[in-house]
Amino acid sequence: MSVAAQLKRDFSTMTLVLIPVAIAINIVIGQIVVLLKLPVYLDSIGTVLVAVLAGPWAGALTGTLSNIIWGLLIDPGAFPWFPVAAAIGLVAGICANFGLFKSWWKVCIAGFFVALAAVIVSTPIGVYLFGGITSSGSTFITAYLLATGQELFTAVLSTNFLVEPLDKIITCLVAWLIIRGLSVRYVSRFSRSDNVNA
């Protein structure tokens, strides 16, 4: 199947209906986490959901739109993170294509790969745009590391390596559990339904 044909198949009516729902999930949960100042993010559950069911490009688009909409409508601080959200969707979709969403322990491995992508993309944004201080609860960890004498880049990178794996493994597991809770008939209507044991 050609790339164009696969993209057309991935961006089916089912996917186009799911993407706004996934964006709402991302924004609502993400905003709750920000308000509670939790040391995790959990703002990519919808992105991973779409990535698993409709492929990496649909996941990347969902992540990108989530942060752009969130940033424009609610929290301007969310906007600059859209490259991270795109990377999360892309990597989650690739992991799903390689069968890493077929059992809980494989989902944990996928979560680690997604976290690695998030660390690589988010660290420069956190350092150069925000000086290491963001609206997330993980800022407390960065502040502590800075107080112990670590350089800014090292402190942000260390914080990301502490927070991202836990966050992304939980995110991937929650998305996987949601998919597992859906009916087989519903899941089978998506182009990448074979990515999970529905």
pLDDT for res 198 = 47
Percent pLDDT > 90 in the chain is 80
pLDDT digits 0-9 by tens, 125-172: 999 998 887 767 788 888 888 889 999 999 999 999 999 999 999 999
Cβ pair 79, 27 in contact under 8 A: no
Cα gap 125→141, rounded to integer Å: 17
Which range has highest mean pLDDT (6-15, 43-52, 125-134)? 43-52
pLDDT digits 0-9 by tens, 92-112: 999 999 999 999 999 999 999
CATH top-level class for 3-116+170-195?
mainly alpha
Mean residue pLDDT of the chain comes to: 94
pLDDT for res 38 = 85
pLDDT for res 167 = 96
- The pTM score is 0.94
**How many CB atoms within 10 Å of residue 13?**
8
Cβ pair 93, 57 in contact under 8 A: yes
Length of the chain: 198
Average of pLDDT values for 26-45? 92
| DSSP state letter for 3 | H
Residue 53 has pLDDT above 80, yes or no: yes
Convert 166-187 to b/e letters by CB count within 10 Å (16 or more is b).
ebbbbbbbbbbeebeeeeeeeb
Convert 92-127 to b/e letters by CB count within 10 Å (16 or more is b).
bbbbbbeebbbeeebbbbbbbbbbbbbbebbbebbb
pLDDT for res 146 = 87
Residues 6+ apart with CB under 8 A from 42: 29, 30, 33, 167, 170, 171, 174
Average of pLDDT values for 4-26? 95
